[in-house]
Each structure stands twice: as C-alpha cells, then as structure tokens.
Chain A
Amino acid sequence: MTALVPLADVTYVEPWWMAILKSIVIFLVGLQILPVMIVAERKILGRLQNRIGPNRVGPFGMLQPMAEIVKFATKEQFRPRTAIGWLFAFAPVISILTAVAALAIVPFGDTVDIFGTRTGLYGIDVTIGPLYLFAFGAVAFYGIMLGGWASGSKYSFLGSMRAAAQLISYEVSQGLALVGVLMTAQTLSLVGIVHAQEGMWYIVPQAIGFIIFLVAGFAETNRPPFDLVEADAELVQGYMTEYGGTRMVAYLFAEYLNVLVVSLVVTTVYLGGWLLPFGIDPPTWVDPFVVLFKMSLFIFFFFWIRATLPRLRYDQLMGLGWKVLLPLATLNTLVTAVILVAVD
C-alpha cells in the first residue's frame, strides 16, 4: 500500500478519504485566512501610518474584501488584441496552483487520531520537503512569465522579465540558507525538521540563515521592499498590466497565498512549527493554532516591513541578492558544516 504513495515518508497508511478531507480542510482554512489578511494588511498599514484604514464596509470594515471581490468579479473581461488567449487565461491559474500546492506540505501538528485512524495534521509529509517547495516556487515563475508574455504588451513583458530575474536570484540564496537547517536536522521532511527543533528552535543556531531566508522570502513573494516587479508608480503593474477583473484577483490571491506559505515555512523551519518554548506541552488540538499564531506574527512582519522600507532600485536588488545574500548564505552553510563535523 505504501508503494502507492512514494512521496510520503510515513510509517502508516492513510485512507483515501482522509487525504481528501485533509486537503479540503487545509485549502478552506487557507482560503479563509486570505480575506482576513487583506483587511488586516490595510488596517495595520493604516495604524503604522497614523491612519485608520478601511472601516466603512461592515463592522470595523471587515467586509471590505467582499465588496472588492464583487467589484472585481463584475468587471469586464478584457484582453489585448495581441494577447495569446489561452495562455493569458491559464497563467494566473498556474500561479494559484503552485501557491496552493506549497500549502500541502506545511505541518500544522503531529499525528493524531481522527475517527479512529492515525493521521498527520498536514497535507502530506514528503521526504523531499524543501525541494518540493522550491520545485513549486520554480513553477510559479512560469505563472508570472507566461502571464507577462502572453499579454502581448511590452510593459507586461518587461515586468515579467524583472520578476524572472528576481526570482532566480533570490531562490539561490533561499535554498542555500535552508541547507544549514537541513544539515543540522539531517532530514528533508518538514515534520522531521520540527521534531529536530525540540530543545532549541533553529532561529537561535541558524540566526543568519533565518534572516537570509526571510529576506529572500520577501523577494520571492514580490512584497515590498522587493516589489519592483509590479512597482506601481513606474511599471503600472508589471506582469499584471493587461490583467483585470477576476484574473488579476487570481494573481493577487496567489501573491497573498505566497506570503502565507512563506510565513508558514519560516514558522516550520526556524520557529519550531507547533512546538512551544519552555517545555510547555499543550494537548494536540492546540498545535494548529500555535502554528497559525506564529504564522500571523510573520504576516504582521510582512506588513510592518511594507510600511517601513522604500522599494529597492533594480541594481540594488541584484546587488543585495548576488553580492550580499549569496556569499552570506554560502558562508552560513560552510560554517554550519564545519561546526557539525567538529562537534560529531
């Protein structure tokens, strides 16, 4: 039976209905967090700038995303004459697909008994963990690239070229930063990495790696200060220039989902996932909430950074990626390796 799920590194077999149930639950939870995140971003940004933020639609402006979805959904579906139709429609789908796929391997808790079957509180525990993440990160790049190219507009194309250069540059440092953790944990499974953090979270021994991963994560999600892909003031909207209505929402959705995924991965890899400090061992049902709480801290940090740092220039972006983060990540990997060998 295990031969049917070669990706999963589990010592038990999950019934098929449990896998479906879990994927639905994870997808729905992820989907419900997004509108909350959008309101939270605007309200927190407001507070960080002595403003209030949206407060007109619904109680405390909580229904703002609903109003916006209605607005976007009722817009005309427009596409330039030069666009390549099916690619133009398909590109946002790739972006969403990869963002959702990455959500599958994030562990929200250890294995528990649900309806008498032993099951893990995660979509799937793959033996290649971070590689799966990077694989889908690389496919996400197709979503952006095809979107810009299929638009048939040179500005979209320029935006997508920038995006491509940025994603490639920062993926390298991100991967190298993670190597330090993988060497210390000696496993590629994200559940295994969380278990390896019992005693000490990797944010302490891997502080440099954590910062590199976080900075690269900002660049990977095209969030400020690395949002020069869409650079509202200069490029209109980058690769999204020709998109409107629900297709643009799909891209924005993917972007916010990526923020969610990066926050969850940082939580898992560096902040001990569902573990609590000082030996507090709560019942298992608390675990997903611990993960969600830690995730929301990082999401807040994303908003905080957005309110603080100005956008980088293109040469500064490349300089930071190749001249600062890459050598630092390499050094971090080397030092970790040397220490690991010396300690053994």
Chain B
Amino acid sequence: MPWTPGDDVIAVQRAPKPGGAGGLYRAFGETLRGLKTTFARIPEGPTTLQYPEEKTPVYPRFRGRHRLHRFADTGLEKCVGCSLCAAACPADCIRVVAAENTPEHRVSAGERYAAVYEINLSRCIFCGYCEVACPFDAITMGHDYEMSDYHRPDLIFTKEMLLVEPFERTPLRAEGE
C-alpha cells in the first residue's frame, strides 16, 4: 500500500506532461504563458532604487551609526563616563576614559564626564546593547548607514564626531510604511 502523505502535501507546479503531439501542444502553450508572464513585467515598471541618488528609507528603530546627546536646555553632555556601554559591548569597540567635572570646566551634568569616548565602527556589530545599557540615554543608535571609508583609522569615531548633529543622509520611513 503506497504511503499517503495526507493534507500536508505541498502542490508543486510541474512542467507540462511530456509525450506525443499533446505534449508538444502543452509545451507550446506553457511557452506562451511564460512569454505573457515576462511581458507583464514591462507595464509594472522597474522597482530599482537608483541608490546614490535615491535611498531606501529606514525604519524608526533602525540601528545605524551611534549618536551622543546633549541636554537641549543647558547644552551639557548627557554622558557621565560610567563605561557601562563599554562593558555591555560584545564587540569591545567602545573606549571611555572618564574625568572629573570641575566648576570651571563643566562638561556633563553628572560628577564625571567622558574625556575620551571612541567607537571603533570597524568592529561595531550594531547590536544596540550600548543604547540599552546607558542609564542616561546619552548614546543612541542613529539612522546613518553610509559609513564606508578608505582607511581603518578613519572609522574610529571620536566624541566630537558622535556629538555633532549628524548630516541626515538617510530618509526615515513614514508611520505604517
């Protein structure tokens, strides 16, 4: 008794049944059907995005290049140099050297600030753990994904580079898109 596969069987589209004049006729018919299928692509128009000129919009939660933030009112840095992001980083690409804030030289809102904050983007895996680990929301993942460069040292982003308002190079997807 042959095995019956039951309802789980997936119908696979097969080639026309071969053999004889009937097979020839069926093959010819299938050829015409194929021609129709390809021709129907012309009125649809191309779906190509002309990349350097047009860009794929990213989703709001897209994890692109990192950004460091300042308080909007005081202009002080949010980062207090706690190194939690560096500890959370699985790729070990963040380097933080903290220093004390003084009344004359006040950089951040906390006691200490990050004197050095470097992210080696050639090692970063864009997992977003740094963003999750940060207690002050000082570091977030931005939307920029165009970060290729000619030299590896150029991919080490310093605090100044991460703090500046980035030049928005990637369009954001509208709600529900």
Contacts and interface: CB of A to CB of B under 8 A. Distances in A.
Interface of A: 46-52, 304-305, 307-309, 324
Contacts of B42: 47-48
B38 A50 contact: no
B48 A52 contact: yes
A48 B41 contact: yes
7 contacts: A47-B46, A48-B42, A50-B44, A304-B39, A305-B35, A308-B35, A308-B37
A309 B34 contact: yes
Contacts of A52: 46, 48, 50
Contacts of B31: 308-309
B46 A46 contact: yes
Interface in B4-32: 24, 31
Contact of A50 (B24, B39, B46): B46
A308 B36 CA distance: 9
Contact of A304 (B35, B44, B45, B48): B35
Contacts of A47: 41-42, 46
For the complex of A and B, 7 pairs with smallest distance between CB atoms: A308-B34, A308-B38, A52-B46, A52-B48, A307-B38, A48-B38, A50-B47
Main secondary structure of the interface of A (DSSP, over half): helix
Contacts of A46: 46
A298 to B, nearest CB: 14
B30 to A, nearest CB: 10
A260 B140 CA distance: 60
Contacts of A304: 35, 38-39
A329 to B, nearest CB: 13
A220 to B, nearest CB: 19
B49 to A, nearest CB: 10
Q: How large is the interface on B (under 10, 10 to 19, 20 to 34, 35 or more residues)?
A: 10 to 19
Contacts of A49: 38, 41
A50 B37 contact: no
Contacts of B45: 50
Interface of B: 24, 31, 34-35, 37-39, 41-42, 44-48, 50
Nearest to B49: A52
Nearest to A56: B50
B86 to A, nearest CB: 44
A282 to B, nearest CB: 29
Most buried by A among B37, B38, B39, B46: B38
A48 B42 CA distance: 5
Contacts of A308: 31, 34-35, 37-38
Contacts of A307: 38
Contact of A51 (B37, B39, B46): B46
Contacts of A50: 41, 44-48
Given A50-B47, A308-B35, A309-B34, A324 B41 contact: no
B46 A324 contact: no
B137 to A, nearest CB: 42
A307 B38 CA distance: 7
A278 B37 CA distance: 31
B21 to A, nearest CB: 10
Given A308-B34, A309-B31, A48 B39 contact: yes
B24 A324 contact: yes
Given A49-B38, A304-B35, 13 more contacts: A46-B46, A47-B41, A48-B41, A49-B41, A50-B46, A51-B46, A51-B48, A52-B46, A304-B39, A305-B35, A308-B31, A308-B38, A324-B24
A48 B38 CA distance: 6
Nearest to B46: A52
A304 B39 CA distance: 8
Nearest to A53: B46
A308 B39 CA distance: 9
Contacts of B34: 308-309
A324 B31 CA distance: 15
Contacts of B24: 324
Nearest to A324: B24
Nearest to A301: B35
A52 B42 CA distance: 10
Contacts of A324: 24
Contacts of B50: 52
A46 B50 CA distance: 14
A264 to B, nearest CB: 22
Nearest to A323: B24
A305 B35 CA distance: 7
B91 to A, nearest CB: 36
Contacts of A48: 38-39, 41-42
A309 B34 CA distance: 7
A145 to B, nearest CB: 30
